[in-house]
Amino acid sequence: MSLPFQQVRYLTSASSLHDFPEDAGAEVAFCGRSNAGKSSAINTICQQGNLARTSKTPGRTQLINFFRLDGDTRLVDLPGYGYAKAPAHVQRQWQGLMESYLVHRHALCGLILLMDIRHPLTEIDWTMIRWSQHYKLALHILLTKADKVGRNLMAKSLTRVTSELEQHGFHAGTQIFSATKRIGVAQVQEKISAWIGQALVQHGPG
């Protein structure tokens, strides 16, 4: 199953569980630290320049943003986590919103976790990894901003992350990614297409 990523369109933004679109079909969510390059990754994967907002100020995405992919399938941009300059009450609001989505959303069939290749596996990343395993949710990791490091460090980081996940008994795909150089785009597109295709076969489109 190959999805038309270039046809993805903005659907809606949600600040609470009640604002989410109908919980039907299948969707894949993107999450990661505020400076991991999440919005740039979504734009590049969908071959569009400004689908997801990008900003030089981390933490700009404070809502859950839904994008219609194809039929009853969606991509979801979750609020970036770990932005220290955000007020405490705002951070709690983001956390509550994300938990509402991650725990209750039946259409969610996979989670793309983005990590800066120079600073992977922070404690909050491990929290997301443990969460995905607890809820038996498919997980795929993008080591972003690969264009900012040399090939040697790129390979070392990929090996380290893969090794540490295996040592802790976690199962997740891991790959190199760069929005700027379009490294790894086809690979993550194939992963998303496979997840959504499998989910629709198992549960039906609605």
Rounded to two decimals, the pTM is 0.92
Instruction: Identify any residues that bridge with 12 across adjacent strands, giving them in sequence order.
Output: 66
- Is position 95 within any domain? yes
- Is position 115 within any domain? yes
- Is position 137 within any domain? yes
Residues of the domain holding 74: 5-201
Over residues 19-34, the pLDDT tens digits come to: 999 999 999 999 998 8
> What Å distances lie between residue 138 and 59, 64, 93, 102, 171, CA to CA?
25, 20, 25, 12, 8
Name the residue among 127, 66, 138 with its Cα closest to residue 99. 127
Over residues 149-190, the pLDDT tens digits come to: 999 999 999 999 999 999 999 989 999 999 999 999 999 999
Q: 3-state DSSP helix/strand/coil percent for the chain, to nearest 5?
A: 40, 25, 35
Pairing of strands 138-144, 73-77: unpaired
> What six digits make up the tokens of 167?
């040592």
CATH code for position 107: 3.40.50.300
Torsion region of 31: left, alpha or beta (phi above 0 gives left; psi -120 to 50 gives alpha)? beta
Helix (H) or strand (E) holding 147: none
* pLDDT of amino acid 150: 96
> What six digits make up the tokens of 159?
């090996």
Q: Decide if pLDDT at 42 tops 70.
A: yes
- Is position 206 within any domain? no
How many alpha carbons lie under 13 Å from residue 84 in its C-beta half-sphere?
Answer: 0
Question: Could you give the number of structural domains in the chain?
Answer: 1
- Is position 177 within any domain? yes
Over residues 116-145, the pLDDT tens digits come to: 999 999 988 998 999 899 888 999 999 999
CB–CB of 143/115 below 8 Å?
yes
CB–CB of 27/5 below 8 Å?
no
* pLDDT of amino acid 204: 66
Calculate the average pLDDT of the chain: 89
Confidence bin at 47 (pLDDT 50/70/90): very high
Instruction: Identify any residues that bridge with 144 across adjacent strands, giving them in sequence order.
Output: 116
- Is position 158 within any domain? yes
Q: For residues 32 and 26, what is the distance between their CA atoms, to the nearest angstrom?
A: 20
- Is position 72 within any domain? yes
- Is position 23 within any domain? yes
